[in-house]
Amino acid sequence: MTRKDNVNRREILDKTMPVIENFVQQAGLVLVEVDFVKESGHWFLKIFIYSPERPITHNDCENLTNNLDGYLDELIDIPYYLEVSSLGADRKLKTAREYDIFRGKKVEIKLKKELENGMKIFVARLLDYSDESGLEVQVLSDNNNDILVLNKNIISSVKLKPEFNF
Protein backbone atom coordinates (compact mmCIF):
# COMPACT_ATOMS: atom_id res chain seq x y z
CA MET A 1 0.00 0.00 0.00
CA THR A 2 1.19 3.47 -0.72
CA ARG A 3 1.26 6.13 1.93
CA LYS A 4 -1.34 8.85 1.58
CA ASP A 5 -0.79 12.28 3.05
CA ASN A 6 -4.37 13.47 2.62
CA VAL A 7 -6.50 11.14 4.67
CA ASN A 8 -10.17 11.95 5.14
CA ARG A 9 -10.77 10.87 8.75
CA ARG A 10 -14.52 11.59 8.58
CA GLU A 11 -14.92 9.44 5.45
CA ILE A 12 -13.08 6.53 7.07
CA LEU A 13 -15.16 6.83 10.24
CA ASP A 14 -18.39 7.04 8.23
CA LYS A 15 -17.48 3.90 6.26
CA THR A 16 -16.33 1.85 9.25
CA MET A 17 -18.85 2.89 11.91
CA PRO A 18 -21.78 0.68 10.76
CA VAL A 19 -19.52 -2.38 10.60
CA ILE A 20 -18.03 -1.67 14.02
CA GLU A 21 -21.44 -1.00 15.60
CA ASN A 22 -22.79 -4.27 14.19
CA PHE A 23 -19.93 -6.39 15.57
CA VAL A 24 -19.99 -4.66 18.96
CA GLN A 25 -23.76 -5.23 19.30
CA GLN A 26 -23.39 -8.88 18.25
CA ALA A 27 -20.85 -9.27 21.07
CA GLY A 28 -23.45 -7.90 23.53
CA LEU A 29 -21.39 -4.79 24.22
CA VAL A 30 -21.90 -1.03 23.92
CA LEU A 31 -19.88 1.07 21.48
CA VAL A 32 -18.86 4.29 23.21
CA GLU A 33 -16.34 5.89 20.86
CA VAL A 34 -14.48 5.31 17.61
CA ASP A 35 -11.64 7.53 16.48
CA PHE A 36 -9.14 7.47 13.62
CA VAL A 37 -6.02 9.38 14.65
CA LYS A 38 -2.44 9.82 13.59
CA GLU A 39 0.12 9.41 16.36
CA SER A 40 3.89 9.36 15.90
CA GLY A 41 3.47 9.05 12.13
CA HIS A 42 1.11 6.04 12.29
CA TRP A 43 -2.66 5.83 11.87
CA PHE A 44 -4.73 4.18 14.63
CA LEU A 45 -8.37 3.13 14.57
CA LYS A 46 -9.34 3.28 18.24
CA ILE A 47 -12.52 1.59 19.44
CA PHE A 48 -13.76 1.98 23.02
CA ILE A 49 -16.33 -0.51 24.33
CA TYR A 50 -18.36 -0.89 27.51
CA SER A 51 -20.68 -3.34 29.22
CA PRO A 52 -23.15 -2.20 31.88
CA GLU A 53 -23.34 -5.76 33.25
CA ARG A 54 -19.68 -6.66 33.69
CA PRO A 55 -16.11 -5.47 33.27
CA ILE A 56 -14.65 -5.61 29.76
CA THR A 57 -12.04 -8.38 29.51
CA HIS A 58 -8.95 -8.89 27.42
CA ASN A 59 -10.89 -11.64 25.61
CA ASP A 60 -13.65 -9.17 24.68
CA CYS A 61 -11.10 -6.86 23.07
CA GLU A 62 -9.21 -9.69 21.36
CA ASN A 63 -12.37 -11.31 19.97
CA LEU A 64 -13.68 -8.02 18.62
CA THR A 65 -10.29 -7.24 17.07
CA ASN A 66 -10.15 -10.64 15.36
CA ASN A 67 -13.75 -10.37 14.10
CA LEU A 68 -13.31 -6.85 12.72
CA ASP A 69 -9.83 -7.12 11.26
CA GLY A 70 -10.61 -8.45 7.77
CA TYR A 71 -13.74 -6.34 7.30
CA LEU A 72 -12.01 -3.11 8.22
CA ASP A 73 -9.05 -3.80 5.94
CA GLU A 74 -11.50 -3.76 3.02
CA LEU A 75 -12.72 -0.30 4.05
CA ILE A 76 -9.45 1.41 5.03
CA ASP A 77 -6.94 1.63 2.19
CA ILE A 78 -3.96 2.90 4.18
CA PRO A 79 -1.82 1.15 6.80
CA TYR A 80 -3.29 1.48 10.31
CA TYR A 81 -3.25 -0.16 13.71
CA LEU A 82 -6.48 -1.38 15.28
CA GLU A 83 -6.93 -0.80 19.01
CA VAL A 84 -9.97 -2.15 20.86
CA SER A 85 -10.13 -1.31 24.55
CA SER A 86 -12.30 -0.64 27.54
CA LEU A 87 -12.93 2.90 28.67
CA GLY A 88 -10.76 3.00 31.73
CA ALA A 89 -12.11 3.58 35.21
CA ASP A 90 -11.89 7.37 35.10
CA ARG A 91 -12.86 8.16 31.51
CA LYS A 92 -13.59 11.77 30.63
CA LEU A 93 -17.13 12.03 29.20
CA LYS A 94 -17.29 13.98 25.96
CA THR A 95 -20.58 13.42 24.17
CA ALA A 96 -24.32 13.40 24.84
CA ARG A 97 -24.24 9.69 23.96
CA GLU A 98 -21.73 9.05 26.75
CA TYR A 99 -23.82 11.03 29.26
CA ASP A 100 -26.78 8.83 28.29
CA ILE A 101 -24.77 5.58 28.59
CA PHE A 102 -23.46 6.52 32.04
CA ARG A 103 -26.68 7.95 33.50
CA GLY A 104 -26.83 6.94 37.18
CA LYS A 105 -23.05 6.61 37.56
CA LYS A 106 -20.78 8.62 39.83
CA VAL A 107 -18.79 11.38 38.14
CA GLU A 108 -16.21 13.94 39.17
CA ILE A 109 -17.09 17.37 37.88
CA LYS A 110 -14.64 20.23 37.45
CA LEU A 111 -16.08 23.65 36.75
CA LYS A 112 -14.41 26.62 35.09
CA LYS A 113 -15.29 28.80 38.09
CA GLU A 114 -16.73 28.28 41.56
CA LEU A 115 -20.46 28.12 42.13
CA GLU A 116 -22.06 30.46 44.68
CA ASN A 117 -21.62 27.77 47.34
CA GLY A 118 -17.87 27.58 46.66
CA MET A 119 -17.89 24.24 44.81
CA LYS A 120 -15.57 23.95 41.85
CA ILE A 121 -14.62 20.24 41.97
CA PHE A 122 -17.09 17.72 43.35
CA VAL A 123 -18.47 14.19 43.03
CA ALA A 124 -22.05 13.72 41.86
CA ARG A 125 -24.45 11.16 40.45
CA LEU A 126 -25.21 11.77 36.77
CA LEU A 127 -28.98 12.14 36.39
CA ASP A 128 -29.56 13.55 32.91
CA TYR A 129 -28.09 15.60 30.08
CA SER A 130 -29.43 17.60 27.17
CA ASP A 131 -27.78 20.15 24.91
CA GLU A 132 -30.54 22.62 25.76
CA SER A 133 -30.76 22.38 29.55
CA GLY A 134 -27.29 21.07 30.41
CA LEU A 135 -26.08 18.45 32.88
CA GLU A 136 -28.35 17.43 35.75
CA VAL A 137 -26.52 15.88 38.71
CA GLN A 138 -27.07 15.04 42.35
CA VAL A 139 -24.17 16.26 44.47
CA LEU A 140 -22.75 13.49 46.68
CA SER A 141 -21.22 14.98 49.81
CA ASP A 142 -21.82 14.73 53.56
CA ASN A 143 -23.50 18.11 53.84
CA ASN A 144 -24.91 18.57 50.34
CA ASN A 145 -27.10 16.27 48.25
CA ASP A 146 -28.55 19.04 46.10
CA ILE A 147 -29.67 18.44 42.56
CA LEU A 148 -27.98 20.88 40.19
CA VAL A 149 -28.46 21.66 36.53
CA LEU A 150 -25.17 22.89 35.10
CA ASN A 151 -24.88 24.75 31.82
CA LYS A 152 -22.33 22.96 29.63
CA ASN A 153 -20.44 26.25 29.17
CA ILE A 154 -19.35 26.33 32.83
CA ILE A 155 -18.10 22.72 32.87
CA SER A 156 -14.39 22.12 32.48
CA SER A 157 -14.58 18.30 32.63
CA VAL A 158 -16.76 15.38 33.68
CA LYS A 159 -15.00 12.09 34.45
CA LEU A 160 -16.33 8.75 35.55
CA LYS A 161 -15.57 8.16 39.21
CA PRO A 162 -14.57 4.53 39.79
CA GLU A 163 -17.04 2.56 41.90
CA PHE A 164 -15.68 -0.67 43.32
CA ASN A 165 -18.01 -3.33 44.67
CA PHE A 166 -16.33 -5.71 47.08
Structural domain total, the chain? 2
Q: What are phi and psi for residue 117, nearest 5 degrees?
A: -85, 5
Residue 83 has what pLDDT?
A: 96
From the first residue on, what is the mean pLDDT of each consecutive set of 10 residues in the chain (166 residues)? 68 95 95 94 95 92 93 93 89 90 92 87 92 88 82 91 72
Residue 4 lies in a domain: no
Domain CATH for 22: 3.30.300.70
Domain CATH for 119: 2.30.30.180
Residue 141 has what pLDDT?
A: 79
Identify the DSSP state of 40: T
Do 37 and 57 lie in a common domain?
yes
How many CB atoms are closer than 10 A to CB 27? Answer: 15
Do 118 and 140 lie in a common domain?
yes
**Nearest of 69, 55, 57 to residue 23 by alpha carbon:** 69
Do 62 and 107 lie in a common domain?
no
Instruction: Write b or e for each residue in 127-138: b if 16 or more Cβ atoms lie within 10 A of its Cβ, otherwise e.
Output: eebeeeebbbbe
What is the torsional sign of CA 70, 74, 80, 84?
negative
Are the CB atoms for 63 and 100 separated by under 8 Å? no
Residue 2 lies in a domain: no
Global confidence as pTM:
0.79
* Domain extent at residue 44: 9-86
